Amino acid sequence: MNFIDLNAQYKALEKDIDQAIQKVLDSGKYINGDEVKKLAKELADYCGVKYCLPCANGTDALVLALKALDIKKNDAVFVPTFTFFASAETIAQVGATPIFIDIDNTFNIDTQKLEKAIKEVKKKTDLNPKAILTVDLFGQPADYIKIEKIAKKYNLKIIEDSAQGFGGEIKGRKACSFGDISTTSFFPAKPLGCYGDGGAIFTDDKELFELLSSYAVHGKGSYKYDNVRIGYNSRLDTIQAAILLVKLRAFKDFELTKRNDIAKKYTKNLKEKYTTPYVKKGFLSSWAQYTLILSDEMDREDLIKYLKEKDIPSMVYYPIPMHLQTAFGGYNFNLDDLKYSEELCKKVLSIPMSPYLTDDDQNKIIKVLLEY
């Protein structure tokens, strides 16, 4: 059994994907071809934002967003400590200081602890609080209803890291539309993935979009060979855009619904024995991961071994919170408030989740987890 069955997805969409790739091969426009523009428009429409800039990967998308918001040395950026490294790494990469915040029972940033940390940074440090970099972890949007109020109160920008959140919703508003700038990743295993690296940036602000477009093309001014700032080279290949156009259709037509059906069945069957993911009322998850929290008595290593013996793969997302990563040794702040994330790192276990997970396989996973 596969943890995420990318091959089953390819088999289901094979004809359309092969045709789309062949069309790009025949066109000769391997960079910035028509498919890239078409994808940008379809992504913007789907997410309900004005502008979308496809780029090379989800990490670049975050760096470009931070640069466009002029976040730099002496700036503080608030970020959940329970996330993938790139969310925090990029803050440090532009010279700013990540301030790590605990998560709540949705796996997303704890908004009460967030507000407390903002006050403490103002009182106890010389840093300028500039932005909140929220993460839509495992597919569920962070609580933007609360986060937007806090951002307004303390005059902070919001960068939405929706690498795992594409397709999620809060009361009909789509993920990738919540931040001043939102970002996503098309890494193959994400809810919407391509066949290599890819990413995209979203905003409603025309000026920010122009800045993002400049940073992504060597700091271009009026054209590519007029360079007005130090930038990057971050593009999505035409072939990847062509693949994503096919996959976006499947995502809209049935994959997002299927992911939710599979999650519902897991929850219904496993909730007596395991702590199953909590999705807030009015929120929709795109289930980048389905993550259980094991009880105190359970031995995670032993369960992983037991599952493996029955050919069931599982993953630990994430084993180490950001504030305990070696690379962030010098960045520790408000450590007392990060205990829930530390606890979860020892108790979480993600199980196979894909719209192509078969009934037989899901039934087997449930049976083995209940048997254990």
Query: x/- binding map, residues 8-47, to ligand PLP, per CB under 6 A?
Result: ----------------------------------------
Output the CA angle 217-25-186, nearest 5 degrees.
50
| Gap between the Cα atoms of 255 and 6, Å rounded | 13
- Transcribe 304-361 into DSSP letters: HHHHHHTT---B-S-SS-GGGSGGGGGG---GGGGHHHHHHHHHEEEE---TT--HHH
**Does residue 185 bind ligand PLP (CB under 6 A)?**
yes
**Contact with ligand PLP (CB under 6 A) among 129, 168, 191, 199:** 199
Contact status: 180 vs ligand PLP (CB under 6 A): no
C-beta nearest to ligand PLP: residue: 58
Is the Cβ of residue 188 or residue 219 nearer to ligand PLP in the bound state?
A: 188
**Is residue 350 within the footprint of ligand PLP (CB under 6 A)?**
no
Which residues are bridge partners to 100 per DSSP?
79
Taking contact as CB under 6 A, which single stretch among the options 74-82, 104-112, 156-164, 301-309 is the one that binds ligand PLP?
A: 156-164
Q: How is residue 142 written in tokens?
A: 């962070």
| Axis-axis angle for helices 58-68, 206-216 (nearest 10) | 120
Is residue 86 involved in binding ligand PLP (CB under 6 A)? Answer: yes
Considering beta carbons, is residue 88 or 170 the nearer one to ligand PLP? 88
Distance of CA 80 to the CA centre of its chain: 12
Q: Quick one: which of 140, 202, 148, 190 has its CA closest to 170?
A: 140
Q: Which is nearer to ligand PLP, 288 or 369 (CB)?
A: 288
Length of the chain: 372
Work out the angle at residue 138's Cα, subtended by the Cα atoms of residues 49 and 116, and round it to the nearest 5 degrees. 80
Min dist CB 62 to ligand PLP, Å, is 6
Give min distance, CB of 250 to ligand PLP, in A: 20
Burial class (CB in 10 A: 0-12, 13-18, 19+), 174: buried
Q: How far is the CB of 56 from ligand PLP (least distance, A)?
A: 8
Least distance CB 296 / ligand PLP (angstroms): 27
59 binds ligand PLP (CB under 6 A): yes
Give me the least distance between CB of 80 and ligand PLP, in Å please: 9
Structural contact between residues 25 and 262, judged by C-beta atoms closer than 8 angstroms: no
CB of 136 to ligand PLP, least distance (A): 8
236-295 positions binding ligand PLP, by CB under 6 A: none
Question: Per rule CB under 6 A, is residue 182 in the interface with ligand PLP?
Answer: no
Burial of 252 (0-12, 13-18, 19+ CB in 10 A): middle
Total residues in contact with ligand PLP, by rule CB under 6 A = 15
Q: Which residues contact 213 (CB under 8 A, 6 or more apart)?
A: 53, 220
Q: Binding of ligand PLP at residue 89 (CB under 6 A)?
A: no
| Residue range at the interface with ligand PLP (CB under 6 A); choices 52-60, 72-80, 203-211, 241-249 | 52-60
Distance CA 108, CA 141 (A): 8
Stretch that binds ligand PLP, among 39-47, 54-62, 277-285, 304-312 (CB under 6 A): 54-62
Residue 95 identity: G
Footprint of ligand PLP (CB under 6 A):
57-59, 83-84, 86-87, 135, 161, 163-164, 185, 187, 197, 199
